[in-house]
């Protein structure tokens, strides 16, 4: 790693520790999805750490994807509250940069980088499961714009986001992967309603969103009308290929290594050693994906493989902690108990969000067959 990246890593680590020491957050598992703090995101924006890979004229810093990886690794290791800007920085901004018109780029990218615009993801729908091609939300032309009607579910932070990314069907075709289009939707627009979905921990970050004849200006189409499937499958490399698929439970793993109640027999040491070795290999995969993105590639297969293996790893971190520490999970207990409880409650979603394990294996297999 270059001296420049080492310096950046140190700066991010120092910021996270400063906020933690001041009591402004407690390290949490799954913090990139559940830890929502606009003030923390605003501080990252002030330092130029949101949209860091984007061109300077669009609010970015024109730095590498490896630089972004350094930032995200340190924030995830710290369990810092990054959910406010995460989706826009990780996924929607790059999609707009790759497929959006210059007008759309100028309208949104500087405001995302400044922390002023935040996004939620309108992909999943009721009764569709992980089958993204089963989209039934419709968009019909209305003059120079579009009218969107439909329902999206499991939409994290829709009640807080300023805008939504919405995948909608703009044409009914025999092949359901065709006729899909990507849109930007203002969450304050008339016809948008948000209903909370409270999870097992009693927390509210999931939502169901209904779009009832919502008007969207034509300039807010991302890319080509009807080409949404090709675009979104490329975009999912950004969603699946990041360290959040590996480090969501890192605060628990770190607490497990520190905690004096951990079993220290030979079997326990071997179990922890296996986790650390797997983490090193998964981090190497993250770096390979970041290098591929720096070369202008969309590493769909590599990202799917990382997400699949990361899901297995994060599940095993949780199960190993349950096995090696005689401390019951408790959201109101000490640090280890709290982190263990968070990981257990978040665990069922690991194999679904970003694509189920079966979908990911299918992507890897199809890519291999097609080579």
Distance CA(222)–CA(139), nearest Å, equals 13
Nearest to 132 by CA among 86, 91, 182, 186: 182
C-alpha span between 211 and 196 (Å, rounded): 15
239 belongs to the catalytic site: yes
Q: What share of the chain is helix, strand, coil (3-state, %, to 5)?
A: 50, 15, 35
Structure tokens at 179: 């006729």
Q: How far apart are CA 32 and CA 136, in angstroms?
A: 28
Q: Which of 125, 239, 244, 314 is catalytic?
A: 239
CA 233, 235, 236, 240 torsion-angle sign: positive
How far is 344 from 290, CA to CA, in rounded Å?
Answer: 29
**What is the torsional sign of CA 23, 27, 33, 34?**
negative
SS3 (DSSP) at 155: coil
Catalytic residue IDs: 239
């Amino acid at each position: 790693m270059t001296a420049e990246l080492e310096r950046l890593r140190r700066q991010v680590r120092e910021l996270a520790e400063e906020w933690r020491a001041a009591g402004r957050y407690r390290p949490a598992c799954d913090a990139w999805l559940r830890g929502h703090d606009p003030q923390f995101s605003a501080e990252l924006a002030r330092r130029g750490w949101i949209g860091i890979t984007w061109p300077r004229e669009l609010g970015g810093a024109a730095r590498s994807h490896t630089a972004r990886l350094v930032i995200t690794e340190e924030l995830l290791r710290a369990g810092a509250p990054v959910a406010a800007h995460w989706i826009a920085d990780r996924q929607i901004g790059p999609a707009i940069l790759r497929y959006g018109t210059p007008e759309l780029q100028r309208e949104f990218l500087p405001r995302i980088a400044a922390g002023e615009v935040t996004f939620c993801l309108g992909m999943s729908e009721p009764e569709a499961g992980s089958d993204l091609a089963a989209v039934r939300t419709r968009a019909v032309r209305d003059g120079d714009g579009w009218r969107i009607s439909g329902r999206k579910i499991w939409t994290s932070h829709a009640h807080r986001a300023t805008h939504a990314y919405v995948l909608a069907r703009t044409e009914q075709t025999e092949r359901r992967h065709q006729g899909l289009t990507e849109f930007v939707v203002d969450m304050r627009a008339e016809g948008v309603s948000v209903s909370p979905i409270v999870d097992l921990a009693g927390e509210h970050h999931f939502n169901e969103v209904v779009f009832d004849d919502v008007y969207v200006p034509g300039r807010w189409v991302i890319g080509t009308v009807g080409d949404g499937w090709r675009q979104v499958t490329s975009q999912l490399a950004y969603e699946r290929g990041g360290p959040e698929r590996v480090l969501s439970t890192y605060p628990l793993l770190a607490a497990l290594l520190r905690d004096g109640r951990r079993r220290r027999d030979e079997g326990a040491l071997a179990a922890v050693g296996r986790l650390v070795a797997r983490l090193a290999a998964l981090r190497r995969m993250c770096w390979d994906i970041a290098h591929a993105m720096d070369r202008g590639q969309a590493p769909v297969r590599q990202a799917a493989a990382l997400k699949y293996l990361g899901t297995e790893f994060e599940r095993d971190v949780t199960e190993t902690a349950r096995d090696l520490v005689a401390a019951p999970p408790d959201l109101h207990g000490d640090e280890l108990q709290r982190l263990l409880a968070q990981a257990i409650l978040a665990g069922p979603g690991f194999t679904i969000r970003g694509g189920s394990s079966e979908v990911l294996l299918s992507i890897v297999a199809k890519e291999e067959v097609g080579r």
